[in-house]
Structures are given as structure tokens and as C-alpha cells.
Amino acid sequence: MKLLVFGRSGQVATELQRLGGVTVEALGRADADLTNPEACAARISGTDADAVINAAAYTAVDRAEEDEATAALINVEAPRAMARAAAARGLPFVHISTDYVFDGGGDAPFAPDHRPAPIGAYGRTKLAGEDAVRAAGGVYAIFRTSWVVSAHGNNFVKTMLRLGAERDRLTIVADQIGGPTPAAAIAAACASAARQLADDWEKTGTYHFSGAPDVSWADFARVIFDKAGLTCEVADIPSTDYPTPAMRPLNSRLDNAGTVSTFGIQRPDWRSGLRDILKELGASKP
């Protein structure tokens, strides 16, 4: 199977290019600028790929509060154009979304059919992007995920490794709970879904894919430090002690049951993924 992937250097796009068993054409900004939706659609119209995966997005959560127009162009209008072009060609379209479409209330995992209620600009644009993909009328799978980590780009694991080596103590929020998700697992899930959608269009829909077990940021940091052999102490703080321009969901738990039953894709164990990430970074405990 050949996959046309929007994104080249991002965490999931990088892992898609490392997958075996598929041919990947990855498009960076120079190949398909997401601020030019028509150009993105044109790449799909002329592709010989068997499926399309959108692994690119405007993910600067705080900056989106001040520049929602750009976030909307990339997170709404580009996916709209992509999904329409894929539908016109009869190509499966896999789109990555986020837990930020929910308000983070309660402590139960959010099911795919739970009513969205984003609390910030980033979540609003990602939700509108989902709606645009659904409205295109093609074959699609939307995967909402959370807390993406890998050995590439900027993410919590790499930040903790850097700060943990520099400091003896860190204060980290403990009231935000979610499932850290290895980018490699997301890439594999997207490729599997694309392959299955090509054979069974009735699998079209919205799904959740996040790592297990659910954990707080503070406890996640503790595991990172332990596995990396760092002695940095973690002190729990509430989110109110770490204000940011954009509010973060307190509850990022996602119900993955539909992904398991429809695609046979299990929740990835982030502890296993973390071991692989630390090994790749040369940061594993001796």
C-alpha cells in the first residue's frame, strides 16, 4: 500500500516514514503548505497513493489563543480541502485529532460520541476540522489522540529529560490525567486503519486512540526519571499553580473500545513505548 502523508518532520509523520510494509510519500511545507488548502487538494488529485493520512496540524495550543485565524486555516480549511479531494478520488482519508475537543470534565473516559465542548481555540479549530472531514462525504477515520511522545520533535519526554538532568526538583501538574501515546503506535494505527478502510468502507467513523494506563503528568514524569536513571524530585501542583494562555483539559482520558472492536487495534502501553524512546535517545538507565 502507498500512503500520501501530509507532514514530514512531525512526530507521527516521522514514524509513518519508518513503518515497514508500506510506501510513504511524505509532504513537508515546501511540498504542500497547509495555509494553502487548494495546493493540498491538488496533491491528492494527482497522487497515485492508495490512501491519504493527515498527520500535520497547527498544534501551538497557547499561540492559537492569539492567532485562531491561522489555526483555523490549517486545522479546518486544509483538512476540508484534503477530505473533499480524497472523496472525489475514492481514497480513504485518515485524520488525526485531539482530546482537546472535549472540556475535560469529570473523570470517566470520553467516548467518541460524547458531546464535544472545547475550552480553547485549538480545540475549537480541531473540532471544526473534524466536522469538515465528516461533511466531505468520503471514506474516513478520525483518530482523536492525546499526549503524543516520541524521540522526535518537542514533547513531554524530551523536556523532562532535559530539565531532569539540569535540576534537582521540578513542580509538575498532577490534576491533569490522560494517556501518553507513542507516536510510533499512532503511525501504525493510522496505516492499519487506512488499509482496512480500503477494504471495508463501512468502518468510516470517529475513533479514539490513546496510551494506557492513564496517568497524571506528575506521575508520568516520575516514571521517565526512574527509567532514565535521573534523581530529580517531582512535586505535585494543581493546574492553577501553572497558568497558561490556553486552558488544558483536566480529564484527557479516552475510551478506545471502538478502535479495538472495529479495527482490532489495541491501546498501546506507553511504558513499553517509553522504553523504546529512551533507548533511541540513549537515555535509558544503565
Sign of CA dihedral 109, 12, 204, 131: positive
242 SS3 class: coil
Torsion of CA 259, 53, 280, 271, to 10 degrees: -20
Q: Which of 106, 83, 114, 84 is nearest to 96 (CA)?
A: 83
Active site residue 122: yes
Angstrom distance (rounded) from CA 112 to CA 99: 10
Rounded to the nearest 5 degrees, what angle is found at the Cα of 276, between the Cα atoms of 27 and 101?
Answer: 55
Point out which residues pair with 178 in neighbouring strands.
Answer: 215, 252
* Residue-by-residue DSSP string for 103-116: ---SSSPBPTTSPP
Catalytic entry in 122, 140, 207, 242: 122
State the cell numbers at 232.
Answer: 530529580
Q: Give the active site residues.
A: 122
